[in-house]
Chains A and B, each alone.
Chain A
Amino acid sequence: MTARRQHFRPQPFSLLSRELASLCITYLYARRALSPFRQNGPARLRTAFCRKRTRTKWRRATGPTGQIDVPNNATRNIEEIRRLQDCIHDLMVVQVALQGVRQCLERQRPAQESRPLPPAAAPSVPADPERDELALELRAMTELHNLSTKLLATTELHPLLKEILQATIALQNADFGNIQLYNPKIQALEMVAHHGFRKDFLHHFATVTDAASACGRALKLRQRVIIEDVSKDPVYQPHRAIALSAGYRAVQATPLFSRNGEILGMISTHFRQPHRPLDRELRLTDLYARQAAEIIERKRTEEALRKLQSELVHVTRVTTMGELAASIAHEINQPLGAIVNNGNSCLRLLDAIPGAPREIRHSLSDIVNDANRASAIVARVRAMTRRTPSENVSLNLPAVIADVLILARRELDEHRIEVRLALDRQLPCVSGDRVQLQQVFLNLIVNSIEAMSTVADDRRILSIAGEPGDLDGRPAVIVTVNDLGIGLPPEAESRLFEAFYTTKPQGLGMGLRISRSIVEAHGGWLRAKSVSGPGTTFSCILPVAPPQKHE
């Protein structure tokens, strides 16, 4: 305090208070100037800071150009928000200083009043409009300071929005109020906090898209809308009845903007009598609106960050699986190679033993063949994790599917599933990788078997049909796999082909994703269709092979 006293010369109170008020207001405007619009703040804003500390903090917050750069990623957003919080802290500093100055001033004044701090709104001394102004500004600033403290402390969105709403209502002496958030997906305002309203109003204004209401209008015009008397405003006509029943005659709606000018929501206040808020009230409302916008934006940034993190985890898992597949392939090829060599050695040595039973030779041949087959599958899996078809030959789909049915024979029999085939043997050939396509059909068949595991025995029917079709004007083959099982839950339809999405308790969730990748790599598509009646149908379309290579 001592330092400041040095600056003050005995001045008429009103002049001094005007200086202080102007400092306060200038600071508030400067505070608003922390918007990302690249306007050059008037030089007087910067020179208005008579305190070095404040200036330093301002400079630190705004950088060398005196403006805050528009952040373009989540981390920097949070940085900026922290810097802004610093500035809010400065407000507090100024406010405390103002309080001190006020104390000092009061001591200078003749002992007319002995009001304790903080100053009350209604003075018991002859009204001095400027002093009252200052008092009210101070109260609003105290509120703002309290709010900013809370902002630093909590991270919960709704309690904070409620606080801001209450503060705004108190500031404007309003009767009701609400805060809405803008939902870009449906392009509408959704109410998230409200005060004083009854159910029918809440229901009516739960989601706002129209341009007749105050908030709808403010949304469209991207600026504050004040309706002094709803009964006299022609555009408000559709909502007049609800306004009357809710009990308000005037309403103002202030939009909440993000750092880059996007509308985040709306804060509105309502009055029982026709009313227009004062400029001072609106100015301070803007401050509160700024707070609310910051809180909302911070929440959104945190959400986005969390979403990115979880996506990263997903991608890491998938990449890891690719890596895993590669190293498994390598490890498996060693023993497989050894099996093949040992088998071949035996076959050779067998040649030197006349009269050896033929069965030995056959067994050894089978061993070698199976080991080679296993190795081929491993190679395909590895190639698939590289997402390129490793072979491109002309395939007869009915034969491919027949092989798959042999593989699945045991499962089909165990679950007593009847298979009905409608595959025309004259179906044109498709070109691609045999083992990969077998994987796709095997996946679909296994899914069908599981879907029908709880269905009555006589209704376990798996139908596979194939017919010619066309894909963007080129000849193609359509294969449908249909089961009469439990079908898909409604939310599954859109998420079915996502990685790691599964309806099975032990499911990995990769089968359909991989199947779709394979089919798409072959130039076709794979879809799930819901049919009338129980069950699911998957249809897979593959382009017909150009008449060149043959298997």
Chain B
Amino acid sequence: MSEAHSLITIIDDDPSFRRSVERLVRAAGHKVQVFASAVEFLKSKHPDASACLVLDVYMPGLSGLDLQKELARAGIETPLIFITGRGDVPTSVQAMKGGAIEFLTKPFKELDLLNAIDQAIQRDRAMRREKAQLKKLRARYDSLTPREREVMALVVAGRLNKQIAAELNTVEKTIKFHRAHVMQKMAVTSVAELVRAATSLNL
């Protein structure tokens, strides 16, 4: 059920509790890294490397909720799991609204945490996959020549080759030529796929 090479990051200012969570998550088969404060985590080399963040809400300096905001601002979309010694409703609502996976109070049942971690890993994996796809797509799009991009835009808009030729002041044969190249470079086999690719790229 759990991928052994997903990295879980734990942030908590209480050393004993931090160690205990590290032990638990490691015993469940994950790779773990720990930080004593949110600031330390942000300063680390690859803050976006983890599949999941398990963090305390009330910490000196930057609180868990503050970190949530910071990460959102930096565009880091790592799924978050909050744990806290104080279970008050407003904080939990705020955390969940900010997109957290789960909000647990200490002491928690181990299965609650481990299931949430698994959920987080799934979500993270899906996200990374999407990102990778998008990156590939973008690379492909970048490889198109300007003319090819123009053609693609009109093809996606639903124009016939004849119309495109007229609009771009060239002959149908040239358009067919460009169209073939676009299809090939974008690695699609139908116009429908091309349209989907264009939508993904927000063109």
Contact residues, B1-59 vs A (CB, 8 A): 14, 16-17, 19-21, 23-24, 26-28, 58
Q: How far is the CA of A344 from the CA of B85 in the complex (A)?
A: 18
A337 touches B108 (CB 8 A): yes
Contacts of A348 in B (CB 8 A): 24, 27-28
Max count, chain A CB within 10 A of own CB: residue among B19, B24, B110: B24
Contacts of A372 in B (CB 8 A): 107
Contacts of A340 in B (CB 8 A): 20, 107-108, 110
Question: Given A338-B20, A341-B20, do A375 and B107 touch, yes or no (CB 8 Å)?
Answer: yes
A50 at the binding interface (Cβ < 8 Å) = no
Max count, chain B CB within 10 A of own CB: residue among A329, A336, A348: A348
B140 at the binding interface (Cβ < 8 Å) = no
Max count, chain A CB within 10 A of own CB: residue among B16, B19, B24, B107: B107
Contacts of A334 in B (CB 8 A): 14, 16-17, 85, 106
Chain B residue at minimal CB-CB distance from A374? B107
B107 touches A330 (CB 8 A): no
**Binary CB contact string for chain B from 49 to 83 against chain A (1 if under 8 A, 0 otherwise):** 00000000010000000000000000000000001
**What is the interface residue range for chain A against chain B?**
20 to 34
B85 touches A338 (CB 8 A): no
A371 at the binding interface (Cβ < 8 Å) = yes
A339 touches B27 (CB 8 A): no
Contact residues, B65-122 vs A (CB, 8 A): 83, 85-86, 105-108, 110
B17 touches A341 (CB 8 A): yes
B27 touches A349 (CB 8 A): yes
A330 touches B16 (CB 8 A): no
Contacts of A339 in B (CB 8 A): 20, 107
Q: How far is the CA of A432 from the CA of B40 in the complex (A)?
A: 46
Q: How far is the CB of A332 from chain B (nearest CB, A)?
A: 8
B24 touches A344 (CB 8 A): yes
Q: How far is the CA of A335 from the CA of B16 in the complex (A)?
A: 7
Q: How far is the CA of A339 from the CA of B27 in the complex (A)?
A: 15
Q: How far is the CB of B154 from chain A (nearest CB, A)?
A: 60
Q: How far is the CA of A336 from the CA of B110 in the complex (A)?
A: 13
Q: How far is the CB of B27 from chain A (nearest CB, A)?
A: 4
Q: How far is the CA of A125 from the CA of B17 in the complex (A)?
A: 103
Q: How far is the CA of A344 from the CA of B24 in the complex (A)?
A: 7
A54 at the binding interface (Cβ < 8 Å) = no
* Secondary structure type dominating chain A contacts: helix
Contact residues, A410-438 vs B (CB, 8 A): none
Max count, chain B CB within 10 A of own CB: residue among A339, A341, A349: A341
Contacts of B106 in A (CB 8 A): 333-334, 336-337, 375
Contact residues, B115-161 vs A (CB, 8 A): none
A331 at the binding interface (Cβ < 8 Å) = yes
Question: Given A340-B107, A341-B110, A375-B107, do A330 and B86 touch, yes or no (CB 8 Å)?
Answer: yes
Contacts of A237 in B (CB 8 A): none
Q: How far is the CB of A495 from chain B (nearest CB, A)?
A: 36
Q: How far is the CA of A330 from the CA of B57 in the complex (A)?
A: 12
Contact of A337 among B23, B26, B58, B85 (CB under 8 A): B85
A342 at the binding interface (Cβ < 8 Å) = yes
Question: Given A331-B85, A341-B17, do A336 and B24 touch, yes or no (CB 8 Å)?
Answer: no
**Binary CB contact string for chain A from 345 to 365 against chain B (1 if under 8 A, 0 otherwise):** 100110000000000000000
Contacts of B86 in A (CB 8 A): 326, 329-330, 333
Question: Given A330-B85, A330-B86, A333-B107, do A338 and B16 touch, yes or no (CB 8 Å)?
Answer: yes
Contacts of A333 in B (CB 8 A): 85-86, 105-107
Q: How far is the CA of A340 from the CA of B14 in the complex (A)?
A: 15
Contacts of A375 in B (CB 8 A): 106-107
A345 touches B16 (CB 8 A): no
Q: How far is the CA of A482 from the CA of B17 in the complex (A)?
A: 46
Question: Given A331-B85, A333-B85, do A338 and B17 touch, yes or no (CB 8 Å)?
Answer: yes
Question: Given A334-B14, A335-B16, A372-B107, do A341 and B85 touch, yes or no (CB 8 Å)?
Answer: no
Q: How far is the CB of A159 from chain B (nearest CB, A)?
A: 58
A345 touches B27 (CB 8 A): yes
Contact of A336 among B23, B83, B107 (CB under 8 A): B107
Contacts of A342 in B (CB 8 A): 20, 23-24
Q: How far is the CA of A337 from the CA of B19 in the complex (A)?
A: 11
Q: How far is the CA of A326 from the CA of B58 in the complex (A)?
A: 14
Contacts of B23 in A (CB 8 A): 341-342, 345
Q: How far is the CA of A322 from the CA of B83 in the complex (A)?
A: 23
Q: How far is the CB of A78 from chain B (nearest CB, A)?
A: 43
A341 touches B21 (CB 8 A): yes
A344 touches B110 (CB 8 A): yes
Q: How far is the CA of A19 from the CA of B86 in the complex (A)?
A: 81
**Binary CB contact string for chain A from 44 to 76 against chain B (1 if under 8 A, 0 otherwise):** 000000000000000000000000000000000
B24 touches A345 (CB 8 A): yes
Q: How far is the CA of A372 from the CA of B112 in the complex (A)?
A: 14
Contacts of A335 in B (CB 8 A): 16-17
Q: How far is the CA of A349 from the CA of B26 in the complex (A)?
A: 10
Q: How far is the CA of A418 from the CA of B21 in the complex (A)?
A: 47
Q: How far is the CB of B94 from chain A (nearest CB, A)?
A: 18
Contact residues, A290-349 vs B (CB, 8 A): 326, 329-331, 333-342, 344-345, 348-349
Q: How far is the CB of A147 from chain B (nearest CB, A)?
A: 61
Q: How far is the CA of A398 from the CA of B150 in the complex (A)?
A: 83
**Binary CB contact string for chain A from 112 to 143 against chain B (1 if under 8 A, 0 otherwise):** 00000000000000000000000000000000
Contacts of A331 in B (CB 8 A): 85
Q: How far is the CA of A336 from the CA of B86 in the complex (A)?
A: 13
Contacts of B20 in A (CB 8 A): 337-342, 345
Contacts of B27 in A (CB 8 A): 345, 348-349
Chain B residue at minimal CB-CB distance from A376? B107
Q: How far is the CA of A490 from the CA of B108 in the complex (A)?
A: 50
In the assembled complex, 30 residue pairs joining A and B whose CB atoms fall closer than 8 Å, in A order, are A326-B86, A329-B85, A330-B86, A333-B85, A333-B106, A334-B14, A334-B16, A334-B85, A335-B17, A336-B106, A336-B107, A337-B106, A338-B14, A338-B16, A338-B17, A338-B20, A338-B107, A339-B20, A340-B20, A340-B108, A340-B110, A341-B17, A341-B23, A342-B20, A344-B24, A345-B20, A345-B23, A345-B24, A345-B26, A375-B107
- List the 3 closest A-B pairs by CB distance, nearest first: A337-B106, A341-B20, A337-B107
- Chain A contact residues, CB within 8 Å of chain B: 326, 329-331, 333-342, 344-345, 348-349, 371-372, 375
Known interface pairs A337-B17, A349-B27; 12 further A-B residue pairs with C-beta atoms within 8 A, sorted by A's residue number: A329-B86, A330-B85, A333-B86, A334-B85, A335-B16, A337-B20, A338-B14, A341-B23, A341-B107, A342-B20, A344-B24, A345-B24
